[in-house]
Amino acid sequence: MSRPCWKSRQTATDAQVNLGTGKQSGPPLAAAVLSAAGLLLLAGLAAAQGWRNLALQPCPFDYSAQTCASDVTPGFEFIPVDAGVLLTGERLDPDAVLHTFRVEVEIGIFGGPSVADALSTIEAVLGHPRGWTARGDLTFQHVSSAPPDLSILLASPETVDRLCAPLDTQGYLSCRNGPRVVLNVERWKAGVPHWDAGLEEYRAYLINHEVGHFLGFGHAFCAKAGASAPVMQQQSVALDGCLPNGWPFR
């Protein structure tokens, strides 16, 4: 059984759909509500195919391309694909909640990842067995055919500061602000000086920490020197004696 690596929790206010009953709060979702068995089948197909093998959808402004200008965040672009539902838990709760998301990268960003590479990395993190889906009580799905519940953006430091305001990211940090997770491309490329667990692990932390805020979790703190840091600890700022950790579950 997966063990949590986070502590405090706030009330989630984002749109949610109950996969067992179809009940929802907030605005309607684009994705259809499926049975638990149907979701497990779809997840298996998605794992076998990967999003790169799925058919591209039309772009929002009535044209076709491999990347589309965003209709949600001006100045960003995304891959027009409705991907499979990400399920990695040991079980699927009949009341599991589906969160739709879209990965968008700022157009013209210097030295940043391609939209395809960003989407692949973020899907791998959100669908990881140690990620937020591990307990079987929630799932994620990348969508392009309708506005998502959550936009996950990679942006320049200047754009991060603008989109995160009134939060103060100081050209350095990332944030979750409303229905957006805004990741600083400089942290994506280089991590932080005190992080010694590798860039792949840092990117997992960056994604999981900010998505954790979207899910309603607040900041946590290092409980004991030498222990793994909770994923909701502000590890980009300091480790405070804990060991770096990118995952909400062990």
Rounded to 10 degrees, what is the CA torsion of 45, 24, 181, 218? Answer: -110
Least confident of 39-53, 96-110, 143-157: 39-53
Using CA atoms, how far apart are residues 103 and 115, in angstroms rounded to an integer?
8
Q: Which of 193, 173, 195 is nearest to 182 (CA)?
A: 173
Strands (E), 33-174: 68-69, 76-78, 85-86, 97-106, 138-142, 150-155
pLDDT digits (tens, 9 = 90+) for 37-96: 444 444 444 443 467 878 898 998 888 899 999 999 999 999 999 998 987 766 788 889
Using CA atoms, how far apart are residues 119 and 127, in angstroms rounded to an integer?
12
Is 15 a residue whose pLDDT tops 70? no
Domains parsed from the chain with CATH numbers: 16-214 (3.40.390)
Residue count of the chain, please give it.
250
Global pTM reads 0.83
Dihedral sign (CA 76, 118, 205, 249): positive
Dihedral sign (CA 187, 114, 31, 147): positive
